[in-house]
Amino acid sequence: MSLAGRAAIVTGAARGIGLTLARRLVDRGMRVTLLDRDPAVQARAESLGSLARGRVVDLRDIDETRAVAEATIEEMDGLWLLVNNAGVFEKTPLLEIDPSAWDSMMEINVRSMVLLIQAAAPSMIAGDGGRIVNQASMAAKLGTPGEAHYAASKAAVVALSRIAAHEFGPHQITVNSVCPGYVLTEMGADTRDPRQIAEWTATSPLGRLATPDDIAAAVEFLASDEAGYITGESLNVSGGACTW
């Protein structure tokens, strides 16, 4: 019933939620490969000890992503858990969104997940099943003005996860998405003046913003054997902000 010894990939793990999650999984004894375009991912992985390994990859690059994912899965001799966490956030009024910015948002926030899933699912199917957790956002369900392309990309993540759950369910692979609220990471730091922090805090009945550990704990649960009958869901970890 333990995650110890099992293999995991976490994307976007050089910092923020991904790094916190990778640390948590290593603490549970998992073998974890951290993927990120930021070369700092290698030093961050080393700091987590011998169960962690870092690899640099730009998830917008299709060939590079496929090659790194396949090499990683082979090296780890299969995979129990894939966490598609990497993502980018940008606030732009709808009338000013350049088509290239739209495409870039979709490439990293959604298409990269498809590539990783295509690389990972065959080995899970050949093994004992597995877990896929995709990082969506409260923006998929609520969103605010100025985040049309971000919110649309995250709504696509929710839909992608639901369909993947149906396609892979017969192979005992669960696929879920997580919808965090406002998490205190470097993402969106430039949209975080005291007024905005107060506004976001007020959306949670708990009266606080999320920590990366709040999100990592939910992902760990979805990765566990105990969550084996939960699939196709989008789990809000938004401090109640999605319940108004």
Residues at the contact surface with ligand NAD, assessed by CB under 6 A: 12, 14-18, 36-38, 58-60, 85-89, 108, 135, 137, 180, 182-183, 185-188
Nearer to ligand NAD, 229 or 244 (CB): 244
Handedness of CA 51, 178, 155, 82 (dihedral sign): positive
Nearer to ligand NAD, 129 or 188 (CB): 188
| Residue 183 DSSP class | B
Q: In what order do the strands lie in the sheet with 130-135?
A: 52-56, 31-36, 7-11, 81-84, 130-135, 173-180, 234-237
Strands (E), the chain: 7-11, 31-36, 52-56, 81-84, 130-135, 173-180, 234-237
Q: How far is the CB of 185 from ligand NAD (least distance, A)?
A: 3
Q: How far is the CB of 160 from ligand NAD (least distance, A)?
A: 13
Give the number of other Cβ atoms within 10 Å of residue 179's Cβ.
25
Distance CA 233, CA 38 (A): 30
Catalytic residue among 150, 168, 182, 200: 150
Nearer to ligand NAD, 18 or 239 (CB): 18
**What is residue 237's three-state secondary structure?**
strand
Q: How far is the CB of 31 from ligand NAD (least distance, A)?
A: 20
Nearer to ligand NAD, 86 or 148 (CB): 86
Distance CA 139, CA 150 (A): 7
Quick check: is 229 catalytic? no
Q: How far is the CB of 157 from ligand NAD (least distance, A)?
A: 8
Q: Which residue numbers are catalytic? A: 150
